[in-house]
Amino acid sequence: MADPILRLSQLSKRFGQFVAVKDIDLAIDEGEFFTIVGPSGSGKTTLIRMLAGLEEPSGGEILLRGQRINETPANRRPTCMVFQSLALFPHRSVGQNIEFPLKMRGVPPMQRRERADELLRLLRLPEDYYGKQVSQCSGGERQRIALARALAFDPEILFFDEPLSAIDFRLRKTLEKELKDLHRETGKTFIYITHSLEEAMVMSDRIGIMRAGELVQVGAPDEIYSRPANRFVSEFMGEVNVLEVKPNGAGLHCPALGATLQGPSDPGGQSDFAGGYLVIRPEYLRFLGPGETAENQVEGVLYNEYALGSRIQYQVRVGEAVFLVEKLREQRYEGQLDDRVVIGWEARDSVLAPE
Ligand code: ATP
């Protein structure tokens, strides 16, 4: 395996007494799409700003191909940042925006134009957009222009600071895929931050989850999905069913249900699980008809249903506990609100998470 392009060792940032980033150790491989996910205030921006050279670390080291770059200013690092605001010049043409970094480096006009045309093609923007004013472009087009301009620097690493957060849902979904395609086409290292684990899942090779300045889990999307390191990570994955449990001789005792449940026989990294949470995704729950059984089953009342595009989500109340069940429209529950229903799931479809 080649050496990582970036290695962070005990990297920290303090603002006065406040520790915004705490002792981060991480290696990012060349060509990787690495996403840092965390709630607001968890330190994502501070971390990425240190990597880009916009903020000086208070402690630890940043190594670029083995060389310490803590003190290297942003403009002398082979990296470029795409901001949420995009920071385009609205009253200049698309071409002028894309060529800006090349102009700053003294690249002659002919070569700049060639590179701009190449980037327009790469970002699937019409060639005649070269002369169009940025203020006349749509949100999605501006996004692509900002990407083209970042690539014009020909950086080795591209940093993205929530570039899609202000964009509406449908377009964002399209751009997420385009960004992943662009990553493939350019082969560059992408380091991306977002507060949406869902967005991270679509694009990333690996994801690092941040909480209060620390990395609480690093792994491939599948790993994070199926083996969340703790409750915080599992709840970050969106709407999931989380039950507090403690092992007893027969399985996992769940006080909220007053029942013993069966957990996964492959406990992931949790072979010494001493108590914590059983996590079940809503799509793994099903309504059980007469005569149907599941390894875990509970009886409750269908409280409400919500249409989610191709799927329907149901809220089932079991005593004090609330379960979310999700079904494709074709598998919808045929019945009425306030029906007594039995829902169930297989032990292998649940995961254990310690606190
Ligand atoms: P968001 O998703 O809201 O952008 P974030 O995860 O990117 O959040 P940061 O912007 O890195 O979080 O901020 C982490 C913490 O550090 C916050 O509590 C913030 O108030 C604090 N912080 C950031 N910059 C400074 C600064 N220059 N001076 C003092 N505190 C700061």
pLDDT digits (tens, 9 = 90+) for 122-169: 888 888 899 999 888 888 888 889 888 888 888 899 999 887 776 777
Give 214 Cα–ligand 1 centroid separation in angstroms: 13
Ligand 1 pocket, Cβ-based, cut-off 6 angstroms: 15, 18, 20, 38, 40-46, 195
User: Which residue's C-alpha comes closest to atom 10 of ligand 1?
Assistant: 45
The dihedral formed by the CA atoms of 345, 351, 354 and 355, expressed in degrees to the nearest 10: -70
User: Which residue's C-alpha comes closest to atom 19 of ligand 1?
Assistant: 41
What token pair was written down for 201?
């899942």
Give 129 Cα–ligand 1 centroid separation in angstroms: 37
Q: For residues 94 and 143, which has the higher predicted lDDT (pLDDT)?
A: 94
Query: How many other β-carbons are positioned within 10 Å of the β-carbon of residue 182?
Result: 21
Give 43 Cα–ligand 1 centroid separation in angstroms: 6
Residue from 12, 13, 15, 215 whose mutation best tests the ligand 1 pocket (most atoms within 8 A of CB): 15
The predicted pLDDT at position 227 comes to 81
The predicted pLDDT at position 271 comes to 62
The string of DSSP codes covering 55-71 is S--SEEEEEETTEE-TT
Residue from 42, 51, 196 whose mutation best tests the ligand 1 pocket (most atoms within 8 A of CB): 42
* Span 272-309, pLDDT tens digits: 778 889 999 999 999 999 999 999 999 999 999 999 88
The three-class DSSP label of residue 337 is coil
Most confident residue range from 72-86, 202-216, 228-242, 266-280: 202-216
Q: Where are the alpha helices (DSSP H) in the chain?
A: 44-52, 94-104, 109-122, 139-152, 169-186, 197-203, 221-226, 231-236
For residue 239, pLDDT over 70 is answered with: yes
CA 112, 76, 48, 104 dihedral sign is: negative
Residue 13 CA: which ligand 1 atom is closest? Answer: 16
Q: For residues 175 and 19, which has the higher predicted lDDT (pLDDT)?
A: 19
Give 103 Cα–ligand 1 centroid separation in angstroms: 33
Say which DSSP state 92 is in.
S
> Quick one: which of 243, 233, 238 has its CA closest to 275?
243
For residue 27, pLDDT over 60 is answered with: yes
**Across residues 71-92, what is the average pLDDT?**
83
User: Which residue's C-alpha comes closest to atom 29 of ligand 1?
Assistant: 15
Delineate the domains of the chain, giving CATH numbers in brackets: 6-226 (3.40.50.300), 239-353 (2.40.50.140)
E strand map for the chain:
6-15, 18-28, 33-37, 59-64, 67-68, 79-82, 157-161, 189-194, 206-211, 214-219, 241-248, 251-254, 259-261, 276-280, 286-287, 296-308, 311-318, 321-328, 340-345, 350-353
- Alpha-carbon distance of 230 to 42, in angstroms, equals 16
User: Which residue's C-alpha comes closest to atom 9 of ligand 1?
Assistant: 43
* Span 327-337, pLDDT tens digits: 999 889 999 99
The predicted pLDDT at position 273 comes to 76
Q: For residues 317 and 197, which has the higher predicted lDDT (pLDDT)?
A: 317
The predicted pLDDT at position 252 comes to 93
Residue 42 CA: which ligand 1 atom is closest? Answer: 6
The predicted pLDDT at position 1 comes to 58
